[in-house]
Amino acid sequence: MTDQPEQHPVTGLDDVVHQRVRLGILTVAHQARRVEFGFLRTALGLTAGNLSQHLSVLEKAGLVEIEKGYEGKRARTWLSLTPAGDRALRDEVTQLKRLIHQIEHGSSAPES
C-alpha cells in the first residue's frame, strides 16, 4: 500500500471562483440570497461593464442565475447563487483556510 502525497491547498482553488471580483460577487449573493445588479455594483465599486463581464463568466460556469425583469418602468437585474455556486464558494473558503493553516503551521488543516 502506497501513501498518496497530500494535495497542496493551492491546487484546490478554482480559477473561476478565486478571481477577487467574482469571489466578492459570490460572497454578496450568498449572504443576500438574491441581489440586484445596482447593489452589487455599489458594494464592489465596479463599473456596469466590468460587473457584467464577471457575471457572464459566473453564469457560463453555472454558478449564478440571472433574472431580468421590470419594476414599474425600471429595468432590474437580479442574481442568485445556484447550488453549484454555493458549493464552489464553500470549497474556496475551505481551501483558503487550509492555505492559511499550511502557511502558519506548515501542515494542512482539517477539511472544515
Q: Which residues bind to other proteins, rule: CB under 8 A?
A: 20-21, 23-24, 27-28, 31-40, 43-45, 71, 76, 78, 80, 93, 96-97, 99-100, 103
**76 or 87, CB closer to other proteins?**
76
CB closer to other proteins, 2 vs 73: 73
Under 8 Å between Cβ of 52 and 44: no
**Rounded Cα distance, 108 and 41, in Å:** 36
* Residue among 2 and 107 whose Cβ is closer to other proteins: 107
33, 80 in Cβ contact below 8 A? yes
Residue 23 CB, nearest approach to other proteins (Å): 5
> Does an H or E element contain 25, and which?
helix 20-32
